[in-house]
Chains A and B, each alone.
Chain A
């Protein structure tokens, strides 16, 4: 089977735009969670979110830098975030296909959990108030999930596989795993892969709040709201943004002298077959997903130095994941570091798996594991587990495991290994 490496990284998150800046802020223990801005949150149960900081300047997101203003109304924000993250990742990789054959072997697989929810909400209002003749011809293409991949391919002329994953909060991880397999099987030499989400809107927050899934106890102290594994955690904090990587067949990357960040060595999947939103209580789904990824990687748990947890800061979910990790790692639990970077950026839903994959790769590259913020009083089950409370830790990371679990009982785990 052909080997797949990561040669480009791109991030748009609540910590800002750019993977280097994201990493600096992440390991410095900064939080991107704030009181919600941009729409009225006064009657919403949760009033905090990880929103992408907008404006002009270092690390701020300015859509005009990627899409002419007249075209921005033709796409919802989730597409613009993806275009921006892809722009950084592709530039970072230095890959510019020159021939038709090269273009045909370069594909895109950027998914989203929800897609154009704000646009759909707006479209429904237009329909109800003004009737069908006033629906924009751009309504459908602005909201369709696979249009993120579509726009990226159009902008860059990538004519290979054009695909989009939709697996709720596992989307980003599934996209990177599945795109890697397309390269392994020879359907492509290069894949631009990841996830994107922009559902921080009245309908999005209202919807998750209706499930009682969101944090509501920290509306006055937003930076404290996302606190995975802490006793006072009370739900996840919704976030937005995009993570995109450039994946490349190893020899292809070597031949052109590309910088290699890490190798994608493991990818495991599973289904809970249990409940639409709650994880199976025995953690079996997450356990099998991780076990399958390690098996594919040919690594034992002792070879994993860092686990980037799904860790959404929900009372039930964190506990179940930790139980599954403990069961899989056994005595190797003593030496592994595990943290949830959602403590800093919130839960980016369909983008989470891709953003966290990039943070895991950065941990390998820099020999630093990012902290779990707000971990003041760990739950009892956390005793003896290094959850990297509040402060980043320097340590060699030979290989990292990143977990993503989604509604519907869909689980994906990725394993990245240092490339020597």
Chain B
């Protein structure tokens, strides 16, 4: 049977012999005899088939060695098959012995015994050493990129998996796996370092990914699935964990580079691999945050005009006359461009990172947090962020500039809101937005009411009703004013057809950003009449109200006659009109000094200078300045420019004023915002205390901070000052414990608190 010549034997006969032997208590004779025969056969097979294939240790050529190994493994497998085939037959014949004798004698069944004998006589040094080194050799060969006969290895591994000491681990688990893992560890440690030196980051990642795949395939195909886990751990420990930062920081190919070039696949691979190790995500979060902040800082840097491009340096170096005159508007425009560019850059950066985040990082929540943190950090580091964003919105909502459709604008604004969300001090934005909105509304520059209201709705959604209340009030004023204007026209009918036609917008003083609540001005006759007429009409409808004219915010269309009865319709500021009217009755060569004009119109020097500049020093020179020059000085004189000509009939004389704030204006805005904040903090303290009646100091501070956080981050010291003020005015009292406050509810009037 062991020699595979069982065909000549009768199964029934032999089975019966076996049966009889056991039946007549000769089981041990049969059992032991069989065992001896098996051993003899095994030894014969080893000597005949296996020994000649022993790999010679001296061979250094890897291919040859691998081939030798393969032959050896195949021989071993064949020996195994021989052995098990014979054993199977023996098992069938000796079925009765297995059932009866082995149980009572306490020995393994013949099949198991056969395997044990194989283990004992084959799997021992030097053969076992040969086996393991041959298998490892094969794997190494494959890892080095050569093709091996996987089934030969697989055959052997299967043998080793089936063999085990009674109740012990399989030979595979006991001998092969530890050796294999150790070998892998060494291999991959070296591999990691080698790759790191020779590869770019994307290459490295690809290689590592391939290694993961191939090792998985290996364990799957010809090793045991149980090896998969420890092997993967080795890969992680050697290829990833120690090299995370090194990979990301690789010059010219690391994380930054991948982001620069939008290498989504590489980034996705990086994310996937990094996620395998616990430190990976943390490292990636840190790196991506740093990268983003660095980019943000660059954007911030480029938005501040550097010292040497300061527009006012041009004054000295630039050519005289015309060149100079153009320099200033350019500078203002340049600052505006920088502001818009800043927002656009931030938007682009946001798009870029959002894209990467979605496509490569599978919208990972933790990474989103880091990205948001980074955006918040650098956006708020730009102290003009609020103004810039408001300018950007302004730019998009102004008509006739972009030629964008409503839908396009809506998309841009939606994105802008994303950035807006990162702002810490939203109240500062509010104050700028109000200013810009007022200009759009008053000058009728809004692209559409729908777009404005759309933006308002977005802001409302972000910050709540309170935030947009005043803005909504402005829209309402516009609407009511239009209605009132209509009623006014009906009221006066055609009576005043010859006079000056006026259009009045009544602005509720608390809604609109009015810099000077009671400005000084002297209207010319031509304005006094209609203004008074309207005022009477308005007050007759709304008694008890007070109307104050704000000429600084208005504009006028005026038809002006120049030489040869040429007419132009000029659109000027109300101040501009007031100045032009002064020249109406003058002769051709008459002058008015700055002083005379100032006396006549009685407006602030800053306003007058700006007005005169726009009339005499800008593109359209309606007035002549003596001496000519770019700046208006108090000792200048002016005359009407009768020779003025321009191709267009209608001309807009825009006031020279930069849309971006100057340093002084910034300070003013800041003071305004600070004042507003004081009210808000007080109101917030009172709201909380009215609700709670009694509160411990620190809780109150925290609650106020929390409630105001959507508008700005109040300084605890400021809150404390407000608390002190409220105690002083008896709205609060300090309790006995000196650490908490009571709400003084017996006060009926909180009228001075907004």
Chains A and B belong together in one complex? no
